[in-house]
Amino acid sequence: MITFRRNQKRITLYSVRCTELNEMDEAIRVKDLRKYFRPRGRVLSSGTLIKAVDGVNISVPVAKIHSIVGETGSGKSTIGRMIAGLIEPTSGEVYVHGIDIFNSSKDQIRELRKSVQIIFQDPYSSLNPRFNVKKIIEEPLKLNHIKFSSERVLEILRKVGLTPPEDFLNRYPHELSGGQRQRVSIARSFVTDPTFVVADEPVSMLDASMRISFLDLIAEIQKEREISMMLISHDISIAYYLSSRINVLYLGKIVEEADGDEVVNNPLHPYTKALIQAVPKLGKVERKEVQIKGSIMTSSSEMVGCKFKDRCIYAMEKCKTQEPELIEARPNHFVACHLY
């Protein structure tokens, strides 16, 4: 595993709690977002709901990168897809520049779709195998009725490092390497000049040797165009490298939120400490300080108490019956744990 060290000159920490931001400061505001599913089969009893996302509140300031980190199955990609408008929430609100994307007019939603894009995790399945690179890049422009010239396509290909761009226009996905496919995916997401981008595990499918260069590419475009971004990752070192504020998600709930330096160097929640411990030489958590048991489960309506209790070495009687609330344990540092 690679340890990422942030470019401190590039990243400016943003230390304002989302509730203190006004709409002019925000690119995205998520309010009490929930997504429940009815399970298939008979693993859970009749009437039980799977709580993929359960009461999440997040705010992303204009021209900043915030992140959501957690294991596979924590619900982070579901949040990203709801923010991008790909799936509807069970309840809750998602505001893009002050406009509720699920309760607005068709004209407003059409305009919002131009400004919100997503970088998908898998460059192999997210590109249409029947489209060449030129058509892949042009597709979001046409779908959003954006006038463009051929130079616009060439320009974005140059920006993502596919040079000379003319050599790639007529290639199909199967003719590209994994890294080249992800560059095409990034180009497709940025070609519409979005104001907000959801980056869903953008480097997880790439070789470790390539990841830093891709993160730097994303950061360069984000800074140059002043794009707001939500980074989704299972690797807290990637979140620390790229984003200014980190939200730690466990079974659909935010369990810790703070600026990146604070989360990594002064983590509060046992789950956050375990995530940091899994990354060599990241932060100040002792390697033997935290241990968690088992693997992530499924959050359901039958679950009572703290969702992390069965894996936590600090679990107490209170954890079995009472779900901890997200509180401000330190200035601008929030945690949901009965230890605080």
pLDDT of residue 197: 98
pLDDT of residue 234: 94
CA 46 – CA 286 distance, rounded (Å): 44
pLDDT of residue 61: 97
pLDDT of residue 15: 32
Residue 338 — left, alpha, or beta (φ > 0 → left; ψ -120 to 50 → alpha)? alpha
pLDDT of residue 283: 63
CA 199 – CA 61 distance, rounded (Å): 16
pLDDT of residue 40: 72
CA 6 – CA 191 distance, rounded (Å): 26
In tens digits, the chain (340 residues) has pLDDT values of 444 445 433 333 233 334 444 556 899 999 999 999 987 765 555 568 899 999 999 999 999 999 999 999 999 999 999 999 999 999 999 999 999 999 988 888 888 878 999 999 888 889 999 999 999 999 999 998 898 999 999 999 999 999 999 999 999 999 999 999 999 999 999 999 999 999 999 999 898 889 999 999 999 999 999 999 999 999 999 999 999 999 999 999 999 999 999 999 999 999 999 999 888 667 665 555 556 776 677 776 678 999 999 999 999 999 999 999 999 999 999 999 999 9
Peptide bond into 165 cis (omega under 30): no
CA 86 – CA 98 distance, rounded (Å): 19
CA 19 – CA 32 distance, rounded (Å): 12
pLDDT of residue 2: 43
Strand 245-250 to 253-259 pairing: antiparallel
> In Å, what is the CA distance from 66 to each residue of 206, 242, 248?
22, 8, 11
In the chain, what are the domains?
1-97+195-210+222-340 (3.40.50.300)
Burial class for 293, CB neighbours closer than 10 Å (0-12, 13-18, 19+): exposed
CA 91 – CA 55 distance, rounded (Å): 9
Strand 116-119 to 196-200 pairing: parallel
pLDDT of residue 59: 96
pLDDT of residue 286: 56
CA 66 – CA 235 distance, rounded (Å): 14
pLDDT of residue 263: 97
